[in-house]
Amino acid sequence: MDYCEKGDLLGMVKQAREKNYKFNSSMVLDWFCQLAIGLNHIHNNKVLHRDLKTSNILLTSFNTVKIGDFGISKPLDYTEQPADTPLGTPFYLSPEVVLGQKYDYKSDIWMLGCVLYELITLKKPFEGNFFEIVRRIVNEPYKPIDNEPDIEAAYLPIF
């Protein structure tokens, strides 16, 4: 098990929000690519993570991303096998999961998209109490990401 000196991405997001910083886009892209490669490896080994979120993504001192907390992950018998147990953190759940439908690797990809959104905006794409989150995931679009750079915001020193 590796030691991740920088803690988790949730802590980094909270720190950035408190200090009115934003993450440098190249750092977000680096983290996202590492996460996508890691998730691809997990899926190639026929495992659904089912709880990908910023608090389950750890960082080493070299900004290497480590995906953690496989407590509710599900090993599958074959690649296309769907799952049907609704698990995970509400903010990141896919529409299939909140509707109680069968789901597959695409739900982990949805969660990855929610993580990316949070790294860019420092907010979750769907917020509120549990029932509001579920309604928003199923019925409402996420708030678009502002394309204009925030001139007043500084960038969080990562190194």
Q: Which residues are catalytic?
A: 51
DSSP state of 78: S
Write the DSSP assignment of 88-150 as a string of letters.
S-GGG--HHHHTT--B-HHHHHHHHHHHHHHHHHSS-SS-SSHHHHHHHHHHSPPPPPP-S--
Q: What is the largest CA-CA distance in the chain?
A: 51
